[in-house]
Amino acid sequence: MIENLIIYFLIPFIKIGAIVLILSGAIAYLTLLERKLIAHIQVRLGPMRVGWHGLLQPIADGLKFVLKEDIVPSKADALIFTLAPMISLIPAFVVFSVVPFGPPGMFEGLLRGILSRFLESASVERIVSNPIASGGFVTDINIAVLFVLSVSSVGILGVILGGWASNSKYPLLGALRSSAQMVSYEVAMGFAIISVLLYAGSLSLVEIVQQQQAGGWWYFFIQPVAFFLLLVCGMAETNRLPFDLPEAETELVGGFHTEYSGFRFSLFFLAEYANMITVSALAVTLFWGGWLPPFPNVPWLGFLGIIPPVAWFLIKVFLILYLFIWVRGTLPRFRFDQLMNYGWKVFLPIALGHVILYAAILAI
Amino acid sequence: MIPVTHYLALAAILFVIGTCGVILQRNVLTMFMCIELMLNAVNLTFITFSRFLNQLDGQIFVLFVMTVAAAEAAVGLALIVILSRRADSLDVDQANTMKW
Amino acid sequence: MNTLEESTVLDTKVLEMNMGPQHPSTHGVLRVKLKLDGEKVVDAECIIGYLHRGIEKISENRSYIECVPYYDRTDYIAAVANVYGFLLGVEKMMGIEVPERGRYIRIMMVEFNRIASHLLWLATHAIDIGAMTVFLYCFREREEILKLFEALFGARLTTHAFRVGGLWKDLPPGFEQAAHKFLDEFPARVDEYEQLLTHNRIWLARTKGIGVISGKEAIQWGLTGPPLRGSGVDYDLRKARPYGGYEEFEFDVPLGENGDTYDRYVARIEEMRQSRLIIQQVLKRLPGGPVRGKAPKIVKPPAGEYYSGTESPRGELGYYIVSDGSAQPFRVKIRPPTFIGLQALRRLVKGHLMADVIAIIGTLDIVLGEVDR
Amino acid sequence: MNRFVPQMFTEWGTVDLNYSALLPEIILSLTGIMIMLVIPFVPTARHVSLGYPALAGIAVAFLSLVATRATWDQRGEAFFYGMVFQDPFALFLKVLFLFATAALVLIAMNYLDQEDRAQGEFYALLLFATVGMCLMAASADLIMTFLGLEILSISTYVLAGLKERERKSNESAIKYFLLGAFSTAFMLYGIAFVYGATGSTQYLIIAKVIPTSESEPFLLLLALGLMLVGFGFKIALAPFHIWAPDVYEGAPLPVTALLAVGSKAAALVALVRILFQALPALSPEWQVLLWMSAVLTMSIGNIAALTQTNIKRMLAYSSIAHAGYLLLGLTAHNELGTQGILYYLVAYALMTMGAFAVVQIVGGRDEQYIQIEDYRGLGYRHPFLSVTLSVFLISLAGIPATAGFMGKFFLFAAALESELYGLVFLAILASAIGIYYYLKVIVLMYMGDFQEETGTLITIPLSLRIVIAIMVLGTIYLGILPGTLLHLASEAVNF
Amino acid sequence: MELIFFYILAGILVTFSILTVTAPNPIRSAVYLISALLSMAGLFFLLEAEFVGAVQVLVYVGGIMVLFLFVIMLVNVREMETQRRASRHWKTAVVLGVVLSSELIFLVVRGADIFSTEGIGSNLIVEAQTRNTESVGSLLYSTYLLPFEIASILLLVAMVGAVVLTMKEK
């Protein structure tokens, strides 16, 4: 009984708490990273005043958001207006419950060390051998990929509802754009993921990584096209330049969050960056071998194992995030119809052809 | 184990709520949403039976029902869009150019 | 580019939308009333006057010399060029000769101003279309020019650059070196912008075929400057009706072919390069001597009417000055190039998408201070 | 690398993928897809002529049926893991549907030409609707019936709304759609209970399982009721018929013909299969329900038709009434009844389609001449149209020497065989009322005082002229010499 | 434990369904319906149909309801917010609803007795439910191969239909 309690309640709660805390911090510093990087791309310094090289800037920003006046436009639909930011933020966090940060059994030693002080060794072993307790993830479900896709599709609703509830024309246009855009790109993204699933033969993210380990190759080397598709569609799904049409500040002022301010705005803001991290984590897990070092089975690269798995994972996520920011510093924005054209007439056919090609290769 | 009747009763309640909604509501969009609710009640019934018959066919059914629901949504919403272009109202009672 | 038909597939009623007067991309307080069919623009109406200060009327109650600073404030982006046009007119009326050094320095500063103005245009145009980085790169170069302005005029934006008969004072020491340094670095910088934009597929998709206007129609709408030349009409006052000594310098007038946003963009980029060439020629041939000719303390032109047209960065800037022989102008009518150009906006945006409205406003390079006066 | 090989690859050896059972569906689908692919390359003025490839596709589908005729006798055996039948019943109906669609395509060509509409998709959707009908006729599983019905319904929802310029069309499409989706939900709920009660959705298995369960079949009764509601909507049986007149009136005429003939027939035969093949054990229950519905349907249809001034609406009510007659065959639940249904369906298709074809031609652009009054003096203006329309109306009224009479005769006979005297009496009464409004039109055409030329000059394309002529001949032929068709039908009824 | 979950989910489901039906404007209805659909997915998980549950969220919430919201915004519902609701009918509706549901529940509960006998359908027992997705997949590609193909035609028809309907006159 107590073992089950520990396995299914205590440890997951600790992990969830840790992820929420770490993720919030990561998001906060992702914004700083973005500001600094873009600033340096644009030959300026970025935030410098708060803390050393602006290191405390995110905290100051957070405080500012929280302390600002909470404004609900008088003609807005107050209930939905309030709900929308939460609808978009919560799924962004929920997704992380299935993302494997590290291999199963990652916390084995740690758990054993702590628990052996309180429990007898048999039950300690029972707990430790359970992957949910000792793995580097909150949970490992056998439909994890579908779970990620479906939960993140809920997040779209927040954007749409927020745009509608503001009762203002720019947000409405932003919401219209985002609903069309996100649905369109989700299709191509799904196909990009399917071609990975063909190889992995599982919907569990942990197992997909393990398959890459067994194969000795990251799927990136087998299916680079699918990776880029996922990345591009991910940019579209997270409203990043060059696909940031729902919020295109120079056209729609602020798009769906034009009427939002203060705390509610910060929720949208957090959600956007959380989604960025989600997409990066998904791309890393599916294509870059998750927690694996490069070429995990090549013996003379064994020294790479010195770096712990979690660090590998985080490094790779960071690299992809860096790419996101870099693109933002470089490219102009698409127009709406061009965006849809690309989605339906370029990415979708490529993704479809890709799936068919790889399915054919597999069948032979 | 939850008795099968619980699920079936729940589905029945949902189905009736949906039916009442279609009869009660006058807005085409809301009526359509009530129909979606009814379809979901059907899905729940299928899944329940599938679970208690211990076979997966019911789940396959649900997938087909979802397919059909999506197809109907696409066509139905297209019809609603063109109706709203012509008429200013989506109230079915005002859609009465023809007598019975 | 024929994607507009498809984008109109799912639209319903006409949505009326106010763009501005407070909007990030209307470059000031322009207000455009858009009628949207989905995202497609059915009609657009410009509403102007939010920045009207009555500068023309004020001029009637000021002496000619007192008028000059006001013209800094019509087109504040190209203040030097604006003052230049007015002073050319006054000097012509009075028959005042400007010494050669003064003339050369004036042309140099006006061309610097042209570069600065085009840089600002490029910066905002790029950020309108979503390219953030070019914005700051352009400001980096513009900063150098503004520093030169500060050195010579003592001010950066509203410079009150010139005086009747020439300049207030000669170039400060070190100015020429600084100018040379800037001019040497400048081409590489322009290449950098072009690297980011000219061959960028997204940029091409956003600018090619957008806001197309034929040369004939451009003339009919009274467009001048880059918008006209982008449509392939070779009309530059510096060549067509040379003034102030422009005939002494060699430069090309860049022309576009299709008259779309992209061509206007290319024309302006090329114009910056040509301006640099002019300045280099000026610096090379800069004669000695005074910078200011003989001019009376009180300017009292003889009664009569005079029109002075110059090529400002934005197009033909005209001052129509009527004198009744007193120290104050009887009437000054300004022909601001973008006030005339803005009327073509409705024609240009019709049938395009909302995002293109931003690009087209950008490509017209309007300055509301000038439009409203 | 761990390659994921789905089980299906290993199991494919044993699959009974009998594609000959689906040949017409496959050919029609491919034709529809091809038509849509070529639409962008066809100039708008020539969209009408896209009907020819559609006709060609139908012809090929028909030929494929003829070629594989020998294989269509596998009674009581379902293919594709028990999803479709390849029996004479399906063959009979598929041929009927193909001919009906061919006629519809011709009517549609005339319609698109008259209305000057560039909508090549019209034909593609017609073909898809036919695919749906054929699937319903051959289906051996509730899920196939459901999917076929949905293909049919969705195509018709779209077709009904295609006159987007006209508000009437929009409204009728919306009404049809909402009620259609509503009834779909009922039908699905019914299917769910069938599944729950029997653990399967295949007709043959259901029929096998039902007698074995001892307790009272509450779930099945519930399922039966819900499914009858669903099908009632689709067939427009009273009291679920209210949508029909509006939709028939508002929809473009070829679509009205499709709804009146195709949808109705397909839903009816699907119901025949479900009731006779899957749920024969429950026949006492559904016979009662159908009895009541038949009476209601016949009387409401005929009585409401009396007061109509719009010929489309009148034909709509008349088609409701005819659905009532068809129910007689169902209620009878004997071999003669099924034969009668098949026979009557052919007759009904001929005369209704013919009548709608004439109405389409007379109606002209934007359906200006659609009131019954507009037919005043048509006999003098256009003898061909009026003679043919008279034949169709006489047949619809059930006057002897026409197909309509023979069809009714067989249906009534079947009902008498099952000792449904009351029902037959009411049916005869209802058809007697019917004669009045059919004859009213004929009287108006010939005996109405001939006024000045009101209608524009009517031109009939040769192809349509031939089709109408064939229909007239068919109507008369079936009325006088019913033997051949009856023989075919009697072969078809053995499931 | 399971029962508690069931009652929570059922409670949410029924509440939001009623709200869907009675909401003053379509967008509220849509929001409530989304909540109802999500809790429905929860019930699916409870019934060990996790694949269908995930697809339910993906298709209904991520697809169909987004489409609904899109159309609601497109036809600009706010202008119609003041439209009357058919309040005169609501008492009848409640009565009807209660009667119908009790009838249905009675029939269903009586009918569901058969499950105690455990005889039906045992001929079709499928392998263990642990690999739900895989089992659903192989069933879909074997027994239900034909319906699966037919469904693709259905979707094609729907897609063509939606495009044809909303396309403006050429």
Confidence of residue A359 (pLDDT cuts 50, 70, 90): confident
Q: Which one-letter DSSP state was computed for residue C122?
A: H
DSSP H helices in chain A: 2-5, 11-41, 57-67, 78-94, 108-115, 121-129, 131-134, 144-165, 169-200, 205-215, 219-222, 224-237, 249-252, 262-287, 309-330, 336-341, 348-363
pLDDT class of E118 with cuts at 50, 70, 90: very low
pLDDT of C324 over the 80 cut: yes
**Does the beta-carbon distance from A362 to D3 stay under 8 Å?**
yes
Task: Please write down the HEC assignment for all residues of chain D.
Answer: CCCCCCHHHHHHHHCCCCHHHHHHHHHHHHHHHHHHHHHHHCCHHHHHHHHHHHHHHHHHHHHHHHHCHHHCCEEEEEECCCCEEECHHHHHHHHHHHHHHHHHHHHHHHHHHHHCCCCCHHHHHHHHHHHHHHHHHHECEHHHHHHHHHHHHHHHHHHHCCCCCCHHHHHHHHHHHHHHHHHHHHHHHHHHHHHHHHCCCEHHHHHHHHHHCCCCCHHHHHHHHHHHHHHHHHHCCCCCCCHHHHHHHHCCHHHHHHHHHHHHHHHHHHHHHHHHHHCHHHHHHHHHHHHHHHHHHHHHHHHHHHCCCEHHHHHHHHHHHHHHHHHHHHHHCCHHHHHHHHHHHHHHHHHHHHHHHHHHHHHCHHHCCCEHHHHCCHHHHCHHHHHHHHHHHHHHHCCCCCHHHHHHHHHHHHHHHCCCHHHHHHHHHHHHHHHHHHHHHHHHHHHCCCCCCCCCCCCCCHHHHHHHHHHHHHHHHHHHCCHHHHHHHHHHCCC
Which residue type sits at A43? V
Q: Whole-number mean pLDDT of chain A?
A: 82
pLDDT of residue A129 exceeding 80: no
CA distance A275 to chain C (A): 21
Contact state of A141 with E73 under an 8 Å Cβ cutoff = no
Query: pLDDT digit string (tens) for A203-238?
Result: 888 888 888 878 777 888 788 888 888 888 888 888
Q: Which of B34-48, D71-85, D304-318 has the highest mean pLDDT?
A: B34-48
D131 and E CB contact within 8 Å: yes
Mean pLDDT, to the nearest integer, of D95-101? Answer: 90
pLDDT of residue B94: 55
Q: Is D12 on the interface with A (CB under 8 A)?
A: no
Do D394 and D271 fall into the same domain? no
Q: Please give the average per-residue pLDDT across A241-270, as a whole number.
A: 76
How buried is D457 (Cβ within 10 angstroms: 0-12 exposed, 13-18 middle, 19+ buried)? exposed
Among D236, D252, D278, where does a domain finish? D278
Q: Which chains touch E (3 or more CB pairs under 8 A)?
A: A, B, C, D
Average pLDDT over residues C71-77: 84
Model pLDDT, residue D4: 39
Cross-chain Cβ contact B24/E86 below 8 Å: yes
- Tell me the average pLDDT of chain D: 83
Nearest CA-CA partner of A248 in C52, E140, C19: C19
* Average pLDDT of chain E to the nearest whole number: 75
| Judgement on whether residues D260 and D337 belong to the same structural domain of the protein | no
The rounded distance, in Å, linking the Cα atoms of C132 and C136 is: 7
Model confidence pLDDT, tens digit, residues D221-260? 888 888 898 898 888 887 888 888 888 888 888 888 888 8
For residue range A172-200, list pLDDT tens digits in order: 888 888 888 887 888 888 888 888 888 88
Q: State the pLDDT at residue C172.
A: 85
- Confidence (pLDDT) at D280: 83
d(CA C193, CA C199) in angstroms, rounded, equals 10
The predicted-structure confidence for E12-43, as pLDDT tens digits, reads as follows: 999 998 888 887 778 888 889 998 998 888 88
With 60 as the cut, is the pLDDT of residue E126 above it? Answer: no
A35, pLDDT greater than 70:
yes
pLDDT band of B65, cuts 50, 70, 90? very high
The pLDDT of residue D449: 64
End-to-end CA distance of chain D: 51
**Does position D95 have pLDDT exceeding 80, yes or no?**
yes
pLDDT at C284: 84
Task: State whether D238 and D323 are in the same domain.
Answer: no
Is the pLDDT score of D24 beyond 50?
yes
Instruction: Report chain B residues whose CB lies below 8 A from the CB of E94.
Output: 20
Query: Which of D74-78, D305-309, D444-448, E81-85 comes out lowest in average pLDDT?
Result: E81-85
Identify all chain C residues contacting B84, using CB atoms and an 8 Å cutoff.
12-13
**pLDDT band per the 50, 70, 90 thresholds, residue D7:** very low
Residue D134, pLDDT above cutoff 80: yes
By the CB < 8 Å criterion, does E52 face chain A? Answer: no
DSSP class of residue E126 equals P
- In the three-class reduction of DSSP (H, G, I as helix; E, B as strand; rest coil), residue C234 is classed as coil
Candidates 3.40.30.10, 1.20.120.1200, 1.10.150.530, 3.40.50.1820; CATH matching E1-85: 1.20.120.1200
Name the residue with higher pLDDT: C265 or C244: C265
Q: Tell me, what's the pLDDT at D256? A: 87
Residue in C17, C132, C197 closest to A169 by CB:
C17
- Residue-number span of the structural domain to which D462 is assigned: 280-495
Confirm whether A182 is domain-assigned.
yes
C-beta atoms of D4 and A198 within 8 A: yes
Q: How confident is the model at residue B29 (pLDDT cuts 50, 70, 90)?
A: confident
Percentage of the residues of chain E whose pLDDT score is greater than 70: 72
Q: Across the interface, which of D11, D36, D212 has its CB nearest the CB of E160?
A: D36
With bands split at pLDDT 50, 70 and 90, how would you rate the model's confidence at E123?
Answer: very low
Shortest alpha-carbon distance between residue C15 and chain E (Å): 10
Checking if the pLDDT of E131 tops 80, the result is no
Residues in chain D: 495
| Cβ-based burial of A204 (10 A; exposed 0-12, middle 13-18, buried ≥19) | buried
- Comparing CB atoms, the residue among B44, B56, B57 nearest residue E40 is B44
Q: What is the pLDDT of residue D131?
A: 92
Residue D262: the pLDDT is 87
- Higher pLDDT pick, E139 / E129: E139
pLDDT band at C346 (very low <50, low <70, confident <90, very high): confident
Is residue C21 pLDDT above 70, yes or no?
yes
D128 touches chain E (CB under 8 A): yes
Residues D355, D284: one domain?
yes
User: pTM value?
Assistant: 0.85
Q: B29 contacts in C (CB within 8 Å)?
A: none
pLDDT band at A287 (very low <50, low <70, confident <90, very high): confident
Mean pLDDT of chain C: 82
- Give E115's contacts in chain B (Cβ within 8 Å): 4, 52
Average pLDDT for B19-24: 82
Mutation pick from D2, D4, D5, D8 vs chain E, by most beta carbons of E within 10 Å, is D8
User: Can you tell me the mean pLDDT for A40-66?
Assistant: 83
pLDDT at position D212 is 65
Name the residue range of residue A247's domain. Answer: 76-102+140-364
* Residue at a domain's end among D278, D297, D315: D278
pLDDT at C109 over 80: yes
Q: Which one of D235, D256, D278 terminates a domain?
A: D278
- Mean pLDDT across D193-214: 80
Flag whether A touches B (3+ CB pairs, 8 A cutoff): no
Which chain D residues contact residue B78 at CB under 8 A?
A: 158, 161
Q: Tell if the CB–CB gap between A146 and E27 is shorter than 8 Å.
A: no
Cβ of A337 within 8 Å of Cβ of C133? The answer is no
Q: Which residue of C has its CA nearest to E70?
A: C10
Interface predicted TM-score (ipTM): 0.84
Beta-bridge mates of residue C19: C32
Output the pLDDT for position D3.
Answer: 37
| Whether B42 contacts D192, CB under 8 Å | yes
* CATH no., domain B4-87: 1.10.287.3510
Mean of pLDDT values over B25-46:
87
Q: What is the per-residue pLDDT for D455?
A: 54
Most A CBs within 10 Å: which of C128, C139, C142, C262, as the mutation test of the A interface? C128
Please state the rounded mean pLDDT for residues E122-130. 42
| Bigger pLDDT: D131 vs C349 | D131
Q: Is the pLDDT of residue A145 over 80?
A: yes
Chain A (191-210) residues lying within 8 Å, Cβ to Cβ, of chain D: 198-202
- Domain total of chain D: 2
CB contact, 8 Å: A341 with chain C? yes
Domain count, chain A: 1
Question: pLDDT tens for residues C282-306?
Answer: 888 888 778 787 777 787 888 888 8
